[in-house]
Amino acid sequence: MPELPEVETIVRRLQHELAGRVLGKVRLLRTDILHGNPRRFASWLTGKRVERVHRRAKRAILEFSPSGRVVFHLGMTGRLLLTEADAPLEKHTHLTLGFASTRRELRFLDPRRFGGVWLFVGAETPVGPRLGEVGPEPLTLTSKAFRGVLAHGRQIKALLMDQRAIAGLGNIYCDESLHAAGIHPLTPADTLDAVHAERLLVAIKTTLRQAIRHEGSTYMDYRTVDGREGSFQRFHRVYQREDLPCRTCGAAIVCLRVAGRSTFICPSCQPKPNRPNIQTS
């Protein structure tokens, strides 16, 4: 499940490999992953030059010249791969983008099809069906702005998972960050004091940066653009480690259900929140 670090890893490689290249053959093999008109998609893109490749939230964005952009959302099982243009098509390949000056092409695969592809031309706002507004980027978020996010007062995990509140976090990095900060996922966000709020923001940034350094986490489907696995899963402290000893204190990791998601915690490092109404200030 590609979250911010996985998409960042993909985008950095694509920027390096594709910036400046001119689009050649466009093959749209499945139109239902495309949000918009398939004919317009292929005809607009042909001959366009890749200006840069970047990321916003969990989305990979190819910026073209003149002004326009293709947005990829990988959902659960989406992959962006760079392969030889004549390599056999893997199952569930929905889109291939060929380039004029290289034998390699960019392929979008997504077995479960929770992901998608969007084209936005000119100054069109990159929002649409399944592509809602997203909140601030966590890596550049200030402490003050983060306290504003927390003021919403929902369960902290549900809030961190909400892309409108803060962008790019999914199940893995929510659980890892909450554990690193010693915060229980059911804690009401507006009961976190300044110390815990700051600790959580630092934990989020540190966890994301380390994950990017290790090219993301491969639990099942995520791969780099070369098809390799990430390695940050080796350093997970709670995610998918039910019954294993906590790497901080040795207590057994527990799996709960929070905000409809499997949620892994160390019950010793992340004690249940105090009742908010007997809080002293």
Binding site for DNA (CB under 7 A): 1, 57-58, 73, 75-77, 91-92, 111-114, 129-132, 152-155, 158-159, 161, 163, 170-171, 188, 258-262
Maximum distance among all Cα pairs of the chain, rounded to whole angstroms? 67
Q: Is residue 13 within 8 Å of residue 224, measured between CB atoms?
A: yes
Query: Quick one: 142 or 262, whose CB is closer to DNA?
Result: 262
**Backbone φ, ψ for residue 46 (5° rounding):** -55, 125
Q: Around Cβ 88, how many Cβ atoms within 10 Å?
A: 8
Strand ordering across the sheet containing 79-84: 23-28, 93-99, 104-109, 79-84
Smallest separation (angstroms) from DNA to the CB of 154: 3
Query: Quick one: 53 or 158, whose CB is closer to DNA?
Result: 158
Active site residue 58: yes
Q: For helices 171-181 and 194-213, what crossing angle results, to 10°? A: 130
DSSP result, 49-108: EEEEEEEETTEEEEEEETTEEEEEE-TTT-EEEEEETTSPPPTTEEEEEEETT-SEEEEE
Active site residue 2: yes
Q: Is residue 281 within 8 Å of residue 272, measured between CB atoms?
A: no
Active site residue 205: no
Active site residue 3: yes
Joined together, the tokens standing for residue 146 give 């983060």
Q: Around Cβ 278, how many Cβ atoms within 10 Å?
A: 6
Query: Quick one: 132 or 245, whose CB is closer to DNA?
Result: 132
Query: Quick one: 49 or 261, whose CB is closer to DNA?
Result: 261
Query: Quick one: 99 or 176, whose CB is closer to DNA?
Result: 176
Q: How far apart are CA 205 and CA 209, in angstroms?
A: 6
Q: Which of 5, 55, 58, 104 is catalytic?
A: 58
Residue with tokens 């031309």: 121
Smallest separation (angstroms) from DNA to the CB of 148: 13
Q: Is residue 76 within 8 Å of residue 113, measured between CB atoms?
A: no
Counting every residue, how long is the chain?
281
Query: Quick one: 47 or 227, whose CB is closer to DNA?
Result: 227
**Which residues are catalytically annotated?**
2-3, 58, 261
